[in-house]
């Protein structure tokens, strides 16, 4: 057996070993992906669903009293097309307010509306944190923040 045949054999064995390591690590990564990344995920007990219930539709023909709207990330309210909740009330601005859900907290923001946003009969200036059972009045419409805990 010559030197070149010996080197060919050695490089062949090294190549096969490297190939097996690559296949092993690829299978290990795929197994972790299938099993959830190798981490145990506990369901969070702090996850909540928030919504707003229409208590009074006022002069808005587009709202129905008693209906509930789910709050995911953010929701806009106003008279213009493109708002999540479009109100027809004459006292509502084009882009009146925004409701934001972030880190299990809810904020309402007055978007420089003419007649303002009221939370529990207090006028909002800028942003205001709100919680379950708070009442939001925009124009003649009144909404109530509701929460349903996931269990």
**80, 95 contact by CB (below 8 A):** yes
127: tokens are 């942003």
pLDDT tier at 9 (50, 70, 90 boundaries)? very high
Looking at the structure, do residues 31 and 55 belong to the same domain, yes or no? no
Question: 28 and 91, same structural domain?
Answer: no
What are 117's two structure tokens? 């946003």
Structure tokens at 107: 């904020």
Checking if the pLDDT of 83 tops 60, the result is yes
pTM reported for the whole predicted model: 0.63
Is residue 113 in a domain?
A: yes
CATH number at residue 66: 2.60.200.20
Query: What pLDDT score was predicted for residue 19?
Result: 96
Number of folded domains in the chain? 2
For residues 86 and 127, state if they share a domain.
Answer: yes
For residues 60 and 86, membership in a common domain is answered with yes
Same domain, 118 and 62: yes
Would 44 be classed as within a structural domain?
no
Q: How confident is the model at residue 151 (pLDDT cuts 50, 70, 90)?
A: very low
Cα separation, 134 vs 118, whole angstroms: 10
CA proximity to 75, closest of 88, 87, 57: 87
Instruction: For 19-66, write each residue's pLDDT tens digit.
Output: 999 999 999 999 888 887 555 555 554 556 788 888 888 877 777 888
What is the Cα–Cα distance from 101 to 49, expressed in whole angstroms? 10
If asked whether residues 56 and 129 sit together in one domain, one would say yes
Verify that 105 and 130 share a domain, yes or no: yes
The single residue listed with the structure tokens 């529990």 is 120
The boundaries of the domain holding residue 5 are 1-37
Q: pLDDT digits over 126-145, tens only?
A: 888 988 889 999 888 899 99
Q: Measure the N-to-C terminal CA separation of the chain; round to a whole number of Å.
A: 72
The pLDDT > 90 percentage for the chain reads 23
Q: Is residue 81 part of a domain?
A: yes
């Amino acid at each position: 057996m010559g030197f070149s045949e010996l080197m060919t054999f050695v490089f062949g064995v090294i190549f096969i070993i490297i190939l097996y390591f690559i296949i092993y690590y690829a299978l290990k990564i795929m197994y972790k992906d299938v099993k959830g990344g190798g981490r145990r995920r506990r369901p969070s007990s702090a996850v909540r669903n928030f919504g707003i219930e229409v208590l009074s539709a006022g002069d808005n023909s587009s709202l129905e009293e008693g209906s509930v709207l789910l709050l995911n990330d953010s929701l806009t309210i106003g008279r213009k097309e493109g708002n999540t909740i479009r109100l027809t009330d004459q006292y509502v601005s084009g882009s009146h307010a925004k409701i934001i859900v972030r880190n299990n907290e809810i904020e309402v923001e007055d978007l420089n509306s003419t007649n303002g946003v009221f939370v529990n009969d207090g006028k909002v200036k800028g942003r205001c944190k709100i919680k379950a059972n708070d009442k939001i009045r925009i124009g003649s419409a009144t909404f109530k923040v509701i929460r349903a805990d996931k269990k």
